[in-house]
């Protein structure tokens, strides 16, 4: 709501009408509606799986660390870490960051434990002379306790968040996330039910737009594949079916050899004329893969002779849609830059999250429009208003 109102102010638009948010009985879908000044009404459903993320963060720290080590070493041995670096060296650094920080924490903790052991044992004249069976456990406890005191700083440094994110993607690629797989089926069933309810009410939707950002980019693809399989009429007549993946981390899962089911989902969209899939990337964003193309970088199970119709890959061109001042402030803040996909532009541009999700044009119309003319469009902006 904050960014939508800022968008309206920046570009001289009337304020949209936004309903109160409501939560489904099962707590898995949050819903509201937005009515734009020109009369376009958007029924907005957010498919929630933050409870799955929360359970990951509540794991025993030892278990999370062990999974990080195993997952990172597995990706290194299989050569997939080098693939991530090839696709985006910045994201490669993000993936390695928790592992490297863990090694540093381990080294410092070992040093602390050694110092405690030396001062309590009989290493030199002024030490207390306690026996090793006492000094070694005490040294280990102090070493581990030092890490515990760093907990707040580790959260601020996004250590645990990035650790759990990588572990989730690695587990999903290995087919070891039945809880997430179950949630995908629930989401697909929800979409089928919602579309049936619209049809029974005699309401026709101009567009069914499924949007996924970051890790949710893969979720959007997986849910769409299930929707296409469950509803054989969707995307064939009436409503246009579209998928927008924004700053997606899709390769983190799909490149893993065991992720055959995920690659099959991607292939079903690549060859389907029932859906328009546009993948938005940004070279300035550390946590996406602007060089990735599923057709070139994945071994997709596509039948010979099948037509390739998706995805269309577009750059969000953050450098053009952000003011110079904003860009200077956020260019070295990876998370802030990553979330620019969901925030208001400072300048008019081809990529506009709110025009895409709430405007009168379909994703296909915007994504395949004259890119150059959209990118150089003139009009009100936050900069001109400030001036």
Q: How is residue 266 written in tokens?
A: 């991607």
Q: How many residues does the chain have?
A: 387
Structure-token match 């359970």, residue found: 55
Measured distance CA(282)–CA(266) in Å, rounded: 21
Residue pair 298/308 in contact (Cβ under 8 Å)? The answer is no
Q: Is the pLDDT of residue 165 over 60?
A: yes
Q: Are 71 and 167 in contact (CB under 8 A)?
A: yes
Q: What is the pLDDT of residues 220-242, one digit of tens each?
A: 999 999 999 999 999 998 899 99
Residue 238 confidence (pLDDT): 84
Per-residue model confidence (pLDDT) at position 145: 65
Q: How far apart are CA 338 and CA 330, in angstroms?
A: 10
d(CA 317, CA 280): 9
Q: What CA–CA distances, in Å, run from 87 to 218, 280, 291? A: 17, 15, 5
Backbone angles phi and psi of 63, in degrees to 5: -65, -45
Instruction: Pick the range with the lowest mean pLDDT from 94-103, 177-186, 331-340, 359-368.
Output: 359-368
Q: What is the mean pLDDT of residues 4-19?
A: 92
Query: Is residue 252 very low, low, confident or very high in pLDDT (cuts 50, 70, 90)?
Result: very high
- Residue 330: which residues within 8 A CB-CB, separation 6 or more? 322, 336, 337, 340
> Of the candidates 76, 46, 66, 72, which has an alpha carbon nearest to the alpha carbon of residue 106?
66
φ, ψ for residue 143, nearest 5 deg: -60, -45
Which of 34, 10, 31, 21 is CA-nearest to residue 360? 34
Cis peptide before 311 (omega within 30 of 0): yes
Residue 128 confidence (pLDDT): 57
Is the pLDDT at 210 greater than 80? The verdict is: yes
* Residue carrying the six token digits 């799909």: 254
Give the mean pLDDT of the chain: 88
Mean pLDDT of 160-178: 95
Contact 188, 47 (CB under 8 A): no
Tokens representing residue 2 in the block: 């904050």
**pLDDT recorded at residue 153:** 84
Phi, psi values for residue 336, rounded to 5°: -65, -40
Does the structure show a pLDDT above 90 at 125?
Answer: no
How far, in whole angstroms, is CA 306 from its chain's centroid? 30
State whether residue 243 is helix, strand or coil: strand
pLDDT in tens, 259-276: 999 999 999 999 999 999
- Residue 376: pLDDT band by 50, 70, 90 thresholds? very low
Q: Which of the two residues, 119 and 73, has the higher pLDDT score?
A: 73
44 to 13, 35, 195, 235: CA distances (angstroms): 20, 11, 13, 19
> 203-226: buried (b, 16+ CB within 10 Å) or exposed (e) per residue?
eebebbbbbbbbbbbbbbbbbbbb
pTM, two decimals, is 0.89
Kindly indicate the confidence band of residue 375, based on its pLDDT and cuts at 50, 70 and 90.
Answer: very low
Distance between CA atoms of residues 185 and 236, nearest Å:
22
């Amino acid at each position: 709501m904050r960014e939508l109102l800022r968008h309206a102010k920046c570009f001289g638009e009337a304020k949209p009408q936004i309903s109160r948010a409501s939560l489904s009985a099962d707590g898995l879908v949050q819903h509201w509606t937005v009515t734009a000044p020109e009369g376009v009404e958007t029924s907005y459903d957010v498919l929630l799986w933050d409870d799955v993320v929360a359970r990951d963060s509540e794991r025993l720290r030892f278990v999370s660390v062990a999974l990080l080590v195993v997952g990172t070493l597995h990706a290194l041995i299989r050569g997939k870490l080098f693939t991530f670096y090839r696709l985006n060296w910045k994201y490669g650094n993000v993936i390695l960051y928790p592992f490297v920080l863990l090694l540093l924490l381990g080294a410092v903790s070992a040093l602390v434990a050694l110092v405690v052991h030396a001062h309590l044992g009989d290493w030199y004249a002024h030490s207390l002379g306690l026996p090793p069976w006492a000094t070694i456990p005490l040294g280990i406890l102090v070493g581990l306790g030092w890490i515990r005191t760093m907990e707040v700083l580790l959260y601020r440094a996004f250590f645990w968040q990035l650790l759990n994110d990588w572990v989730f993607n690695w587990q999903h690629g290995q087919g070891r996330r039945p809880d997430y797989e179950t949630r995908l089926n629930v989401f697909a069933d929800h979409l089928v039910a919602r579309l049936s309810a619209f049809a029974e009410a005699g309401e026709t939707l101009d567009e069914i737009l499924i949007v996924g950002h970051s890790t949710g980019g893969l979720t959007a693809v997986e849910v769409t594949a299930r929707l296409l399989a469950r509803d054989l009429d969707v995307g064939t007549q009436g409503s246009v079916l579209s998928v927008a993946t924004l700053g997606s981390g899709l390769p983190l899962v799909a490149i893993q050899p065991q992720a055959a089911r995920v690659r099959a989902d991607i292939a079903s969209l690549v060859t389907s004329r029932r859906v328009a899939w546009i993948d938005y990337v940004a070279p300035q964003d550390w946590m996406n893969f602007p060089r990735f193309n599923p057709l070139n970088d994945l071994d997709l199970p596509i039948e010979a002779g099948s037509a390739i119709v998706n995805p269309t890959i577009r750059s969000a061109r953050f450098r053009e849609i952000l003011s110079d001042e904003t860009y200077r402030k956020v260019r070295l803040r990876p998370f802030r830059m990553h979330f620019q996909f969901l925030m208001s532009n400072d300048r008019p541009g081809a990529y506009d999250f709110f025009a895409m999700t709430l405007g009168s044009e379909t994703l296909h119309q915007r994504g395949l429009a004259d890119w150059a003319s959209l990118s150089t469009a003139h009009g009100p902006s936050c900069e001109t208003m400030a001036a």
